[in-house]
Structure 1
Amino acid sequence: MLAVAVSRDDSASVHIGERLRDIADWTDHTDGSRPDADGGGTVYRTDSVELREFDALHLELDGVADAFGHADGADGRTEPALLVFASRHAGETGPLLTAHHTGNVGPAEYGGEPGAFARACPNAHRRVLAALREHAPEGYEVGMEATHHGPTDVGVPSMFVEVGSDDPQWDDPDAAGAVARAILALADTDPDAPDENGTRRHLVGFGGGHYAPRFERIVTETDWAVGHVAPDWGLDAMGDPERNRDVVRRAFEASAADYAVVEGDRPELKRVVDELGYRAVSETWVRETTGVALDLVAVVEERLGSVDDGVRFGERASEYGSDANGGGGDLAVVALPDDLLAEAQGIDGEAARAAVERATVAFETSESGTRAGGRALVAADCDGAALVDDLAAVLEAKYETVERADGAVVARESAFDPERARTLGVPDGPKLGRLAEGEPVTVDGDEIDPAVVRVEREHRFPVDDSAG
């Protein structure tokens, strides 16, 4: 069940609540077990959503999940799976729809406990941002914020979904309606991403600004979700990571995360993350592992090396599900045909890279991931000859003939020989250039045919079909 908390002390929250009741089909119930000011009285329900109103501001509603799920006149209770605070956002940010988790990286100036975090809902947060973008009225930006303010003890995974940033927007029925629709889109959304053998595609964010553009990119452009985000100002308030290891640990636990992206130069924080048993990864790592089973990522990094060190995934990575086919037992590490590959990449880098990606599960790269080369992880049924053929086809754009012979790709070309031209009296300069371009030239009254100053050259690129 999705729980929605509306604060009567927040005009934007009241408007969102009104729009929620207009949009969906609700039934009215009465909860006499609690004061009206504390979520009792009239309760609104659909099959999967329950809405309650409170007098206090949201950041003061510790343990608020306990108010939800009580049936009329009965002792039974359906605990909500997710709770959303329909709220206002205040700031100098203009028209803005936003969502964020709650907690305090440092002191608790606005509710909650210091160094504590409410249980985040990374998957639902990712979904609500997409829904806000879908429904946002013209002129409204959509963004995510770093973790800030209370409550830190909610009882179930939760987040704030907000209209900002001043009175005109708080009173805007279109903005309230957009937030209402985005909240209702969460009715059947799990708070967390699916479990992948004991971990999830959840990240903790450390560093950056309050409006977290890096983490918003990750949520928008990858299949990873972000839980708590501790911005620069929060980390400064927290202080030394070593002395605040428990705060760092709580951020991971409250995000159901094993990975973090750390923005900026924070070696001490990364060391603490590692010592706590979590892993700091780059945005590149997050992007490259999108769409790849995390079990397979582990197998690839164990056998080839880290994605952050240049390992990349091929198209065949998509064939492996969450169990990575029994831990990658049907995968083999092979050497790529580096000489042939280097020549092909020099002719058409995109075509050569595509050939490697088609043939492999993963492969090594150099030059910041731009050039394939070295080793690859391939499936047992990998057709090494197909990769060689694809690379040989790239060579045909440069060479006159390309063929397979005696464990090699043999490429032949007819090339201009400037030394032969000079022996025929052709001086350096325009005539030498025209001759190199295939034009006849006249020297001392004699015409020199371009064919007589060309030589046949053969290039051999060793290959092992069984290794690709």
Structure 2
Amino acid sequence: MPVIFYSTVDQASENIALALKQNHGFEEKGNTDLGEKQFAVWACGQTQLVELHSPLPEADFLKDFFKSDLFVFASRHQSVSGAPCATVHAPGNWAGETKYGGNANELQLTSAKALQCFYDLLKANPLPVFREASHHGPTCLKTPSVFVELGSSEKEWSDYSMAEPIAEAIVEGCRSFSSKNAKAALGFGGNHYLAGFENLPFALSHVASKYVLDFVDAAMVKQAVEKTAEPVEKAFVDWTGCSKEQREMLVASFEKTGLSWEKA
């Protein structure tokens, strides 16, 4: 039973939730009292929609609430370019930076097939669609988690018509991800938007872009494998998207963990 989370402090998130309520059959179920916290909940079939009042990347407190096979965070995406787009990614902090939630050097449990499913469904969207490298929190939830986002500026976040296709993809993904047949892999190197990993016959789970590779050792590679719900069969390396030193460190880490790898 997937759970979709949205935040009242995120305009894009609120608009995606509004589309779910108005167009996709999510009906209000009132407040769910879970110990010291209460959550406003809507439901459509077996899928729940839950309202939060804090930034979604800071939702590590959810580790104590809700039993589910998938958490979907309906969120805004922000970039320097401000270009309109839809994105999907796993949460996780490869390095020590925790400015945007989660714990240092911790990756969130995620699902490669869910990420691939949402990515494929978002392609029906008129917006450009990107997969992103793993970044920000939450990182300590016990349920596989993904972010599905609308970007990249206030113009898009405030436009309800742009939120509707995101909502549609989320609903369909929640229905169908569990039946998707996909082999899981990890990605290392290249840019944040995974340009070097297109057309692989694998579903990508956690990905570390070039700018965090100096922090990726065998322990982090092992964690990325363990924090993928499906068995990880392989790692792909964007060979030209890494320095010589980074490539050597990655290969040594793969050998130490026994993970098969190849150039993307």
Between the aligned partners of 1:63 and 1:225, the Cα distance in structure 2 is 28
Query: What amino acid maps onto 2:187 in structure 1?
Result: G
Give 1:119's aligned residue: 109
Give 2:51's aligned residue: 53
Equivalent residues of 1:4, 1:86 under 8 A apart: yes
The alpha carbon displacement at 1:232 in A equals 0.5
Number of aligned positions between the proteins: 254
Between the aligned partners of 2:34 and 2:52, the Cα distance in structure 1 is 11
Equivalent residues of 2:184, 2:204 under 8 A apart: yes
Identity %: 30
Give 1:81's aligned residue: 69
2:205 to 203, 227, 237: 227
Give 2:219's aligned residue: 246
TM alignment of 1:282-361, pairs within 5 A: 282-283=263-264
* RMSD, aligned α-carbons: 2.0
The alpha carbon displacement at 1:141 in A equals 0.9
Between the aligned partners of 1:127 and 1:105, the Cα distance in structure 2 is 24
Listed one character per residue, the Cα deviations across residues 182-205 of structure 1 (whole Å, up to 9, x for unaligned) are 1001222345865xxxxx711100
Q: For residue 176 of structure 1, give the secondary structure of its aligned residue in structure 2.
A: helix
The alpha carbon displacement at 1:279 in A equals 0.8
2:121 to 123, 131, 135: 131
Give 1:180's aligned residue: 167
Query: Kindly tell me: are residues 82 and 39 of structure 1, through their superposed partners in 2, closer, same or farther at Cα, counting changes over 3 Å?
Result: farther
| Bigger relative CO (Cα 8 Å, ≥ 6 apart) | 2
TM alignment of 1:295-444, pairs within 5 A: none
Greater gyration radius? 1
Equivalent residues of 1:3, 1:80 under 8 A apart: yes
Between the aligned partners of 1:178 and 1:193, the Cα distance in structure 2 is 21
Which sections of structure 1, spanning at least 5 residues, go unmatched? 69-78, 195-199, 284-468
2:97 to 104, 108, 114: 108
Q: For residue 261 of structure 1, give the secondary structure of its aligned residue in structure 2.
A: strand
Which sections of structure 2, spanning at least 5 residues, go unmatched? none
Listed one character per residue, the Cα deviations across residues 327-350 of structure 1 (whole Å, up to 9, x for unaligned) are xxxxxxxxxxxxxxxxxxxxxxxx
Q: For residue 173 of structure 2, give the secondary structure of its aligned residue in structure 1.
A: coil
Using structure 1 for the length normalisation, give the TM-score. 0.52
Q: For residue 71 of structure 2, give the secondary structure of its aligned residue in structure 1.
A: strand
Between the aligned partners of 1:191 and 1:7, the Cα distance in structure 2 is 25
The alpha carbon displacement at 1:5 in A equals 0.3
**2:234 equivalent to 1:259:** yes
Q: For residue 121 of structure 2, give the secondary structure of its aligned residue in structure 1.
A: helix
The alpha carbon displacement at 1:66 in A equals 4.2
Using structure 2 for the length normalisation, give the TM-score. 0.89
Give 2:252's aligned residue: 271
Query: What amino acid maps onto 2:250 in structure 1?
Result: L
Query: Kindly tell me: are residues 182 and 106 of structure 1, through their superposed partners in 2, closer, same or farther at Cα, counting changes over 3 Å?
Result: same
Runs (4+) of structure 1 moved beyond 4 Å? Answer: 191-194
Query: Kindly tell me: are residues 208 and 124 of structure 1, through their superposed partners in 2, closer, same or farther at Cα, counting changes over 3 Å?
Result: same
Equivalent residues of 1:84, 1:161 under 8 A apart: yes
Query: Kindly tell me: are residues 25 and 17 of structure 1, through their superposed partners in 2, closer, same or farther at Cα, counting changes over 3 Å?
Result: same
Give 1:6's aligned residue: 6
Equivalent residues of 2:186, 2:205 under 8 A apart: yes
Query: What amino acid maps onto 1:9 in structure 2?
Result: V
Equivalent residues of 1:121, 1:192 under 8 A apart: no
The alpha carbon displacement at 1:159 in A equals 0.7
Between the aligned partners of 1:268 and 1:141, the Cα distance in structure 2 is 33
Query: What amino acid maps onto 1:85 in structure 2?
Result: F
Query: Kindly tell me: are residues 229 and 176 of structure 1, through their superposed partners in 2, closer, same or farther at Cα, counting changes over 3 Å?
Result: same
**2:41 equivalent to 1:43:** yes
The alpha carbon displacement at 1:206 in A equals 0.5
Listed one character per residue, the Cα deviations across residues 419-461 of structure 1 (whole Å, up to 9, x for unaligned) are xxxxxxxxxxxxxxxxxxxxxxxxxxxxxxxxxxxxxxxxxxx
Equivalent residues of 2:88, 2:132 under 8 A apart: yes
The alpha carbon displacement at 1:124 in A equals 1.1
Query: Kindly tell me: are residues 100 and 32 of structure 1, through their superposed partners in 2, closer, same or farther at Cα, counting changes over 3 Å?
Result: closer
Give 2:191's aligned residue: 209
Query: What amino acid maps onto 1:20 in structure 2?
Result: L
The alpha carbon displacement at 1:160 in A equals 0.6
**2:153 equivalent to 1:166:** yes
Equivalent residues of 1:100, 1:147 under 8 A apart: yes
